[in-house]
Structure 1
Amino acid sequence: MQTSIIPIFIPHIGCPHRCVFCNQWQITGHQGLPSPDEVRRLIASYTASARTPRYWEAAFYGGSFTAMPGEVQEGLLQPAYEALEAGTIDAIRCSTRPDCITPEILQRLQQYGMTCVELGVQSMDDTVLEQARRGHTAGDVVAATALLRQYGFTVGHQLMPGLPGEDWPSLVRTTAAICRLQPDLARIYPVAVLAGTDLAASWRAGRYQPLTIHEGVVRAAYMKQHFLEQGINCIRTGLQATENLDDDTQVLAGAYTPAMGELVDTRRYGRQLLSFLRSLPDEPAITIGYNRRDTSRVRGYRNVTVKTACWSLPQHLTWHQDEVPLGHIRVCQGRTVYDLDVNSKTGPTMI
């Protein structure tokens, strides 16, 4: 059954800090705190529009949900809980800060049926967190993750490669630290420089050098590959495209493109496939099979992997959709068949 999110945006509400990169009004296109009645109407509108059965999840995004006063949280949660109890929706989740997680808070969330909490981690490098003015430490992430696990919540981590002070060794350490913590899911948002942020002022003054789109793809692909290899479900790479984000007067620089997810997977799939193909003999010809839903990942964004293979490899290659599991590539040369599991570190296996 298809999972559908009902996004309930609370931009900046509850946040005790203004991070250098943050302008939630632009990212979400929403301002202000919704009323309980607005939450109720939003849930009803989404669920009534579906023509087929779906798994509905109400999600409080955009701010620091658990940093808001308890009565405000309860007012927003009540209509979602009513919909959950009535069977209109199937789950409730929120995003929040790592330093706004306590037993009291988690007990309240449980009373209203919430099962998933995503933490705005951004980095596990305290120097990077300080320069971003996050107001929390990597230690807070460790403690919050452990407490969420203790209370039985599904745990998500949101990361932002490209923050001020991050270099490649810092990114590698952050990735390794997240893999050790083993969240259930992760989102990766390479930094975009948004108008109206302190980061934009630093960029204009020459104090901050943002990632290019290519650099953002490289860093995000590294993180995603390692997360998947450790069994961490990476559910999003790159900001969701909106009218505001597609306005070049609002996104001034940095690693934003609506195609970020496709570019990241093109890099992950392409690097592994091309590396393996280069290890094979020149003859006979090679057939490459893949799941229909993996077509763009295997062939590459705008067929870049197919084109690269064509001019850089001596073998004759045939590409086609096949009965192959998602995340796998079937490589056939003569009578020899290999299975390449892109999301595993085991490497190609002969089948």
Structure 2
Amino acid sequence: MKTSIIPIFIPHIGCLHRCVFCNQWRITGHHGIPSAEDVTSLIQDYTKHVQEKRHWEVAFYGGSFTAIPEEMQERLLKPAHQALLNGTIHGIRCSTRPDCITSPILDRLRFYGMSIVELGVQSMDDTVLQFSKRGHTAEQVLEATQLLKKCGFTVGHQLMPGLPGEDWHSLRETTLKICELKPDIARIYPVAVIENTELAAMYRQGAYIPLSIHEGVCRAAYMKQAFIEHGISCIRTGLQATKDLDDDTQVLAGAYAPAMGEMVDTKRYQMQLFKLLDKLSGESVVISYHRSDTSRVIGYHNVTRKRAACKYKQHIRWCEKKNIQPGNVIVQTILRTYRLDMNANQVYEV
């Protein structure tokens, strides 16, 4: 059954700090504080004309939900809880800070039917967190994750490769620590420099060098591949495109692209495929895959097929086949057949 999100945006509400990268009004395209009536109305608007069965979830995004006043939390949660009880929706989730998770807070969330909590982790490097003015530590991420799991919540981690002070060593360490904590889900948002943020001022002053789109794709692909291999579902890569984010006067630099998710999957598949093709020099090759994997295998805008044609001298044929399991790619030469399990990053001779 398809899962559909009913987003309730609370930009900057409850935030204890102003992070150097953050302008939630630009990122979400929303302003102001929603009322209980707004929540009820949004649930009705999203669900009333949909005929097929869906798994509906109300999601409180954009601020630090568990840090807003208790009375406001309850005011927003009550209409969502009522919709949950009457079967209009099937789940409630929120995003918040790692240092705003306690047992009493989680008791309140459970009382109102919430089951998924996403933490704005961003990095597991305390130096990067400090430079970004996050106001929490990596240790608090660990503690919050453990408490959420103990209380039976589905746990999400949101990461931001490319923050000030991060290098590849830092990124690898963050990735390793997240894999050890093993949240249920993850989102990866390579850093974009957004107007009216401290990061924008740092960029103009030359104090911050942003990632290029290519660098953002490479770092996000590394993280996503590692998460998938450790059983962590990566449910989003890159910021959701909005009118504001597509305005180059608002996104000044950095790794923002509307098709970031497709570009990251292209990179993941291409690296694994080329690693095998490098060993098959001179042999004609047939590359087969399930139709659902076509864009990942041949690449966003056909980039992998084009690069393969330039990189390798042998003839390469690309084929969709129904009998191949999604996530697997079959590479055949005259003498050998290989199966690439893209999610496990493994090659098997068959």
Counterparts in 2 of 1:169-318, with a 5 A limit? 169-280=169-280, 282-283=282-283, 285-318=284-317
CA contact (8 A) 2:281 2:312 kept: no
Query: Distance between the aligned counterparts of 1:119 and 1:85, measured in 2?
Result: 26
1:57 corresponding residue in structure 2: 57
Length, aligned pairs only: 349
The amino acid that maps onto 1:45 is D
- 1:118 is paired with a residue whose SS is strand
Counterparts in 2 of 1:21-40, with a 5 A limit? 21-40=21-40
Per the TM alignment, residue 350 of structure 1 is displaced from its structure 2 partner at its CA by 2.1
Per the TM alignment, residue 335 of structure 1 is displaced from its structure 2 partner at its CA by 5.8
The reply to whether residue 67 of structure 1 matches residue 67 of structure 2 is: yes
Query: Distance between the aligned counterparts of 2:63 and 2:290, measured in 1?
Result: 38
Query: Distance between the aligned counterparts of 2:85 and 2:234, measured in 1?
Result: 29
What percent identity do the matched residue pairs reach?
63
The reply to whether residue 123 of structure 1 matches residue 123 of structure 2 is: yes
Superposed CA deviations along residues 233-252 of structure 1, whole A, max 9, x for unmatched, are 11111000000100001101
- 1:261 is paired with a residue whose SS is helix
Query: Distance between the aligned counterparts of 1:302 and 1:88, measured in 2?
Result: 40
Unaligned runs of 5+ in 1: none
Query: Distance between the aligned counterparts of 1:113 and 1:326, measured in 2?
Result: 34
TM-score, length-normalised on structure 1?
0.97
Per the TM alignment, residue 28 of structure 1 is displaced from its structure 2 partner at its CA by 0.3
Superposed CA deviations along residues 159-204 of structure 1, whole A, max 9, x for unmatched, are 0011111111111111111011000010000000000000001111
Query: Distance between the aligned counterparts of 1:340 and 1:135, measured in 2?
Result: 42
1:17 corresponding residue in structure 2: 17
CA contact (8 A) 2:266 2:304 kept: yes
TM-score, length-normalised on structure 2?
0.98
1:320 corresponding residue in structure 2: 319
Query: Distance between the aligned counterparts of 2:234 and 2:142, measured in 1?
Result: 19
- 2:6 is paired with a residue whose SS is strand
Query: Distance between the aligned counterparts of 1:294 and 1:179, measured in 2?
Result: 25
Superposed CA deviations along residues 246-303 of structure 1, whole A, max 9, x for unmatched, are 00011011110101111111111001101101212523x3221111111111001111
2:46 corresponding residue in structure 1: 46
1:79 corresponding residue in structure 2: 79
The amino acid that maps onto 2:290 is N
Query: Distance between the aligned counterparts of 1:5 and 1:328, measured in 2?
Result: 29
Superposed CA deviations along residues 181-231 of structure 1, whole A, max 9, x for unmatched, are 000010000000000000001111111111111111111111111111111
The amino acid that maps onto 1:138 is A
Query: Distance between the aligned counterparts of 1:197 and 1:344, measured in 2?
Result: 39
- 1:226 is paired with a residue whose SS is helix
- 1:221 is paired with a residue whose SS is helix
Query: Distance between the aligned counterparts of 2:201 and 2:311, measured in 1?
Result: 43
Unaligned runs of 5+ in 2: none
Query: Distance between the aligned counterparts of 1:337 and 1:5, measured in 2?
Result: 42
- 2:163 is paired with a residue whose SS is coil
2:135 corresponding residue in structure 1: 135
Query: Distance between the aligned counterparts of 2:325 and 2:196, measured in 1?
Result: 45
Counterparts in 2 of 1:79-118, with a 5 A limit? 79-118=79-118
Query: Distance between the aligned counterparts of 1:49 and 1:314, measured in 2?
Result: 54
Query: Distance between the aligned counterparts of 1:13 and 1:287, measured in 2?
Result: 54
CA contact (8 A) 2:238 2:256 kept: yes
- 1:222 is paired with a residue whose SS is helix
Query: Distance between the aligned counterparts of 1:294 and 1:273, measured in 2?
Result: 13
Query: Distance between the aligned counterparts of 1:325 and 1:109, measured in 2?
Result: 39
2:3 corresponding residue in structure 1: 3
Per the TM alignment, residue 51 of structure 1 is displaced from its structure 2 partner at its CA by 3.1
Query: Distance between the aligned counterparts of 2:206 and 2:237, measured in 1?
Result: 27
- 2:12 is paired with a residue whose SS is coil
- 2:120 is paired with a residue whose SS is strand
The amino acid that maps onto 1:116 is I
- 2:193 is paired with a residue whose SS is strand
